[in-house]
Amino acid sequence: MTVSAWLRERTPAPPERLSASIEAALGARLSAPRAEVTDACIDAAEALLRDLLARPSMGRDSALDLLTVDALVTYAFEAAADDPATLDARARDAARRLAAVTNG
């Protein structure tokens, strides 16, 4: 199973525009193995957040991207919850990485 297949199994499915934005953010990561969902989603969320913060201003046109970051992080933790033994470490790593983007 790939990241893409795992995403298609999520219920409820996100609205079409959000789904397309998630897929665009994930890009080539969509074909990664299912075991990489958490890392793929955090990587994509971090990259998109970095892009958002580099913009000269954020207006209503940034709303979909902000929702996409949120959805990617949510999916990352949904996937990470499948392995409770590593959840704490993954949460700390994700928080550190995302905070570094905002402090950079």
Residue-wise pLDDT for 82-104, tens only, equals: 999 999 999 999 999 999 998 76
Domain count, the chain: 1
Domain that includes residue 81, residue range:
3-103
Give the residue ranges of the chain where pLDDT is below 50.
none
How far, in Å, CA of 21 to CA of 69, rounded? 10
pLDDT for the residue 55: 87
Q: Contact, 49 vs 98, CB < 8 A?
A: yes
pLDDT for the residue 56: 85
